[in-house]
């Protein structure tokens, strides 16, 4: 039962993060080339928000990779980040919070959940990556999300 709950938690984290990882089209260039195409400002605002969230998330992933941190969704921490001492390292992307944590600071349970999350996210991104990136950028995106993470099954 505990394993099932953990799998559901990881799937929920992947579903919420996948929305930020998928690359939407640039709404500003679309509006520039088709000024009369967007009739409602709410649609344009929602599209712009998705595009901004994607850019912020991708910047977070790149920065975390360069600095040696991992961007862990707050869902995987069971909302115990402040108690564990990670409260000052949170980054808000849309309505989802991420914590920057080094792999050696993670507990074994968190490490297992995080790497299972990362493997599942990479599998989902591989399915969608051909729709969002051209051939040159596909390799860069896969390299950004893949890692030398240990193969753990959740």
10-residue averages of pLDDT along the chain (154 residues): 76 80 81 82 87 88 89 84 81 88 90 89 73 65 59 42
> How much is the pLDDT for 134?
65
What pLDDT sits at residue 80? 75
pLDDT given for residue 104 in this prediction: 92
- What is this structure's pTM? 0.75
Report residue 85 as tokens: 């001492």
Phi and psi of 73, rounded to 5°?
-65, 145
Output the pLDDT for position 129.
Answer: 65
Domains of the chain by residue range:
2-145
């Amino acid at each position: 039962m505990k394993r099932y709950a953990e799998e559901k938690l990881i799937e929920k984290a992947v579903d919420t993060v996948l929305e930020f990882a998928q690359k939407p089209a640039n709404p500003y260039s679309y509006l520039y080339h088709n000024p009369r195409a967007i009739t409602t400002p709410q649609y344009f605002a929602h599209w712009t928000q998705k595009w901004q969230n994607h850019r912020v998330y991708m910047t977070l992933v790149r920065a975390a990779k360069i600095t040696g941190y991992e961007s862990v969704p707050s869902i995987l921490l069971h909302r115990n980040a402040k108690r564990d001492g990670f409260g000052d390292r949170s980054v808000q992307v849309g309505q989802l919070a991420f914590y920057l944590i080094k792999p050696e600071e993670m507990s074994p349970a968190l490490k297992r959940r995080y790497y299972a999350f990362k493997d599942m996210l990479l599998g989902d991104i591989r399915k969608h990556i051909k729709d969002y990136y051209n051939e040159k950028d596909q390799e860069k995106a896969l390299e950004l999300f893949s890692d030398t993470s240990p193969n753990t099954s959740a």
